[in-house]
């Protein structure tokens, strides 16, 4: 009835072109003996929108944090062939599951934080932060404090803060999991628009099949105990995707396929 399909992504290292991040045989064992991630091979291509999809405890957050440099792999390597050798030069933005804002600072100061830490002059930092706030739809809320903002708006501030340095890659750890569905849909749409416009590489950790299909070009399916990659799927649907796509038969079909792959992968 339609042409939507999922295809297997080429294995790591098999693709043409230099990936932004190259993950090779990465394992992570915690001090208590838990193996959070085992033997992960993954390339993150420049400009891609990739979802890491899997149940709780499959190590997707741990993997994301290791890419960010928060904790290093027990074995294996994470290289940035598409970026400079200097670790400090690896521009990345990180969005946590909670907005993680400074409650004592207003929205503008929160977004300015990465610029302040890099000693960007105050007037320039303010200008860039205000621009970023406007881009996430929060023009007029510069002087609002986090407690005066709704959950979705706080998440927008958090995204603006992550993007204010114009990073090459945006890492998101289940950012919308705590939001209601209506807000989540809006934020998904706005995130896609931002990505479409700014052309950063996006890595999105989620446990929602629907969210991953809606957003991504590529879904990496992971299984738990130990955390490992079970499937790496390309999503064929074109961008821009919008509300029409969300209600299309094509989307439903893709969700069914991805759901099937997930069940197969985690052996349910």
Partner 1 sequence: MSSASPSASVPHDGTDAEARPLTLAEPTILGLPVSFWPRILAPIFVGILVLGLWEFAVRWNEVPSYVLPGPLLVGQTLIADWGTLSASLWITLRITFMALAAAVIVGVALAVLFTQSKWLEMALLPYAVILQVTPIVAIAPLIIIWAGDINLSLLICAWIVAFFPILSNTILGLNSADHNLINFFQLHGATRWQTLRYLKLPAALPYFLAGLKISGGLALIGAVVAEFVAGTGGSESGLAYRILEAGYQLKIPRVFAALLMISLSGIAIFLATSLISHLLLRRWHESALKREN
**Chain residues that interact with partner 1, rule: CB under 8 A:** 68-70, 88, 92, 94, 96, 98, 100, 102-105, 113-114, 116-118, 137-141, 143-150, 152-153, 156, 165, 183, 186, 190
Least separation in angstroms between CB 168 and partner 1: 14
Q: How far apart are CA 27 and CA 227, in angstroms?
A: 9
Nearer to partner 1, 116 or 236 (CB): 116
Least separation in angstroms between CB 23 and partner 1: 18
3-state secondary structure 179-207: CCHHHHHHHHHHHHHHHHHHCCEEEEEEC
Q: How far apart are CA 128 and CA 115, in angstroms?
A: 9
Q: How far apart are CA 170 and CA 94, in angstroms?
A: 6
Least separation in angstroms between CB 122 and partner 1: 13
Least separation in angstroms between CB 18 and partner 1: 24
Nearer to partner 1, 67 or 223 (CB): 67
Q: How far apart are CA 214 and CA 49, in angstroms?
A: 11
Q: How far apart are CA 88 and CA 40, in angstroms?
A: 24
Least separation in angstroms between CB 90 and partner 1: 10
Nearer to partner 1, 153 or 262 (CB): 153
Q: How far apart are CA 199 and CA 195, in angstroms?
A: 5
Nearer to partner 1, 34 or 144 (CB): 144
Nearer to partner 1, 138 or 262 (CB): 138
């Amino acid at each position: 009835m339609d042409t939507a399909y999922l295809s297997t992504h080429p294995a790591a290292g098999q693709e043409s072109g230099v990936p932004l991040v190259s993950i090779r045989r990465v394992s992570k064992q915690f001090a208590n003996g838990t193996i959070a991630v085992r033997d992960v091979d993954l390339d993150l291509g420049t400009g891609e929108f990739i979802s890491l999809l899997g149940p709780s405890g499959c190590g997707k957050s741990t993997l994301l944090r290791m890419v960010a440099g928060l904790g290093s792999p027990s074995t294996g390597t994470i290289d940035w062939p598409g970026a400079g050798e200097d670790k400090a030069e690896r521009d990345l933005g990180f969005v946590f599951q909670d907005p993680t804002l400074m409650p004592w600072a207003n929205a503008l100061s929160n977004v300015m934080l990465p610029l302040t830490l890099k000693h960007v002059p105050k007037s320039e930092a303010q200008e860039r932060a205000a621009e970023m706030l406007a881009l996430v739809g929060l023009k007029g809320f510069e002087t609002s404090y986090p407690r005066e903002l709704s959950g979705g708006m706080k998440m927008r501030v958090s995204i603006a803060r992550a993007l204010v340095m114009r990073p090459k890659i945006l890492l998101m750890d289940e950012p919308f999991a705590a939001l209601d569905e209506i807000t989540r849909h809006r934020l998904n749409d706005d995130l896609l628009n931002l990505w479409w416009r700014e052309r950063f590489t996006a890595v999105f950790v989620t446990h929602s099949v629907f969210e991953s299909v809606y957003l991504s070009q590529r879904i990496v399916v992971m299984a738990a105990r130990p955390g490992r990659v079970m499937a790496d799927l390309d999503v064929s649907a074109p961008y821009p995707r919008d509300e029409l796509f969300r209600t299309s038969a094509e989307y439903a079909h893709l969700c069914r396929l991805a759901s099937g792959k997930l069940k197969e992968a985690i052996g349910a």
